[in-house]
C-alpha cells in the first residue's frame, strides 16, 4: 500500500519525505486555503513547489464544475509538472472530463466518492485513482472502511485498474483498516502517519533495554 500525505503544507511534506515512506501528496482547495494560498498564479506556483519536493504523484484539484472549465483547468494543472494528477469531483461533468482526460493521457483522481456506484462509474471512465472519503462516511455513522472493502471486492471481480486511494483518514486505525480492506493507497495527515509509530510496550521495552545496558556498563566500569 502506498502512503500519500494529505496536506498543502511544504513543511509537513518535507517531514514525511524525511521519514523515507512518502509516495505522493494529495491536496484540495480547503487544504490550499488553510496554507493561505490564493490566486491561480500562487496556487500553481505552490503545486510546482510541492512537485519539486516529491517524486511521486501530486493530486491538484480543479475548481471548475463544468466540462469545458474542468478540461481547461486540468490541462493547465497537468502542464505544471510530470507528476501532477488532476483531481476531479464525482459529478456528471467530472466523469465526462475523466473519460476525456483518460483518452488524451492525463492522469486523474476522482474525488468526493461516497458509494460503490460512484466507484464503478469512475473506474469505467478510466480514473487513475479513486478517493472514497472514509472519515466523512464515519462522521454520518456509516462504515467508511466497509466502503473501501466493498469497492476493493468489486474492482477485483471486474478487473478494474483504478487504484483505490483511501482518503479522509482521521487516525492510525483508519490506515491499518484500509490496508486490510484492500486500499492501494492511503492519504493521511502527518499526525495519523506518526500515530502508527506509537505503542506503550515499545516505549517500556526500549526504556528497559537502555536501563539494562546502562547498568551493565556501570558494573563493568566498577570492576575495572
Ligand atoms: C482527499 O484527497 C481529501 O483531500 C481529504 O482526504 C479530505 O479529508 P477530510 O475529510 O479530513 O477533509
Dump pLDDT digits (tens) for 183-193. Answer: 999 999 999 99
Whether 178 is in the pocket of ligand 1, judged by its Cβ within 6 Å, is no
Architecture of domain 2-198: Alpha-Beta Barrel (3.20)
State whether the beta carbon of 28 lies less than 6 angstroms from ligand 1: yes
Q: How far is residue 123's CA from residue 165's CA, in Å, rounded to a whole number? A: 13
- Return the residue whose CA atom lies nearest to atom 8 of ligand 1: 168
CA of 15 to the centre of ligand 1 (A): 19
Q: How confident is the model at residue 161 (pLDDT cuts 50, 70, 90)?
A: very high
Centre of ligand 1 from the C-alpha of residue 214, in Å = 46
Q: What is the pLDDT of residue 220?
A: 87
pLDDT class for 16, splitting at 50, 70, 90? very high
Per-residue confidence (pLDDT) for residue 78, from 0 to 100: 98
Confirm or reject: Cβ of 108 under 6 Å from ligand 1.
no
DSSP one-letter code for 5: E
Question: What is the rounded CA–CA span in Å between residue 68 and residue 40?
Answer: 17
Can 96 be counted among the known catalytic residues? Answer: no
What pTM does this model have? Answer: 0.95
- The Cα–Cα gap between 155 and 175 comes to 20
Rounded mean pLDDT of the chain?
97
R_g of the chain computed on alpha carbons: 21
- Would you tell me the crossing angle of helices 116-125 and 92-103 to the nearest 10 degrees? 30
Nine-digit cell string for 183: 486500499
For ligand 1, what atom is nearest to the CA of residue 31?
Answer: 4
Per-residue pLDDT, averaged over 102-106, amounts to 98
What is the β-pairing status of strands 57-61 and 185-188?
A: unpaired
pLDDT score, position 223: 83
Per residue in 179-217, pLDDT (tens digit) is 999 999 999 999 999 999 999 999 999 999 999 999 999
Terminal alpha carbon distance of the chain: 53
Amino acid at each position: 500500500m502506498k502512503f500519500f500525505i494529505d496536506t498543502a503544507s511544504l513543511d509537513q511534506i518535507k517531514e514525511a519525505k524525511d521519514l523515507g515512506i512518502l509516495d505522493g501528496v494529495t491536496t484540495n482547495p480547503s487544504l490550499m486555503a488553510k496554507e493561505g494560498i490564493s490566486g491561480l498564479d500562487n496556487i500553481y506556483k505552490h503545486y510546482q513547489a510541492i512537485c519539486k519536493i516529491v517524486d511521486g504523484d501530486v493530486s491538484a484539484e480543479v475548481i471548475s464544475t463544468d466540462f469545458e472549465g474542468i478540461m481547461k483547468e486540468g490541462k493547465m494543472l497537468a502542464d505544471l509538472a510530470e507528476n501532477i494528477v488532476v483531481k476531479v469531483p464525482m459529478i456528471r461533468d467530472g466523469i465526462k472530463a475523466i473519460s476525456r482526460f483518460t483518452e488524451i493521457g492525463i492522469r486523474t483522481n476522482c474525488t468526493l466518492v461516497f458509494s460503490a456506484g460512484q466507484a464503478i462509474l469512475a473506474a469505467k471512465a478510466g480514473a487513475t485513482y479513486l478517493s472514497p472519503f472514509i472519515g466523512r462516511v464515519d462522521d454520518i455513522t456509516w462504515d467508511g472502511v466497509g466502503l473501501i472493502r466493498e469497492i476493493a471486492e468489486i474492482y477485483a471481480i471486474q478487473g478494474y485498474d483504478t487504484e483505490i486511494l483511501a482518503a479522509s483518514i482521521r487516525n492510525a486505525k483508519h490506515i491499518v483498516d484500509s490496508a486490510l480492506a484492500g486500499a492501494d493507497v492511503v492519504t493521511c495527515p502527518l499526525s495519523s502517519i506518526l500515530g502508527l509509530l506509537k505503542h506503550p510496550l515499545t516505549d517500556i521495552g526500549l526504556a528497559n533495554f537502555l536501563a539494562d545496558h546502562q547498568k551493565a556498563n556501570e558494573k563493568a566500569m566498577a570492576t575495572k
